Amino acid sequence: MIALASDHAGFAYKEKTKELLTQLQIPYKDFGAHSSEASDYPDFAHAAAVSVSHGECDRGIFICGTGVGMSIVANKHKGVRAAAVESVAAAELARKHNNANVLCFGERLLQWDAAEKIITAFLNTAFEGGRHERRVNKIHSLTSC
């Protein structure tokens, strides 16, 4: 199950992402926003990130104007590894090397065809494990910084 979240600036691409996931027969849960009216990205990012953190959703796709705000919020949650990306290569490497479980990107920064390729890469790329496993395990090993 994919957790979807956006604010008003990412709403149109979230709706397109829902269409893509439906075509791919991948289930999702939409945490909002539910319109293009002005809204606050932390409200939706927190709710969706909790679902990933608690294992209710396997991964997430969060969309705002740049992807940065959503990624900052998502990474506050234990077990969430959100990556704000703007290329297919970054999406693939975020999965392969960092085991990213939340993809964040910005509707204001990407054309839909590029976003669709990034989403597909994120969904189809597996974590390599190996030497990367040790590093990923260190991400959440500290209780405070």
Per-residue pLDDT of 4-38, as tens digits, reads: 999 999 999 999 999 999 999 999 999 999 999 99
Phi-psi region at 130: left, alpha or beta (left = phi > 0; alpha = psi -120 to 50): left
Q: What is the pLDDT of residue 145?
A: 46
- Residue 83, amino acid: A
What does 27-62 look like in DSSP terms, one character per residue? -EEE-S--SSS---HHHHHHHHHHHHHTTSSSEEEE
Residue 64 designated active-site? yes
Choosing from 57, 64, 77, 104, which is the catalytic residue?
64
Domain range list for the chain: 2-139
Asked if 132 is an active-site residue, the reply is no
* Closest to 4 measured CA to CA, from 24, 25, 38, 27: 27
Catalytic-role residue among 8, 46, 97, 132: 97
Per the structure block, which two tokens stand in for 35?
Answer: 């319109």
Which of these CATH numbers, 3.40.1400.10, 3.40.50.2000, 3.90.190.10, 3.30.9.30, describes 2-139? Answer: 3.40.1400.10
pTM surpassing 0.75? yes
Q: Which residue has the tokens 């002005």?
A: 38
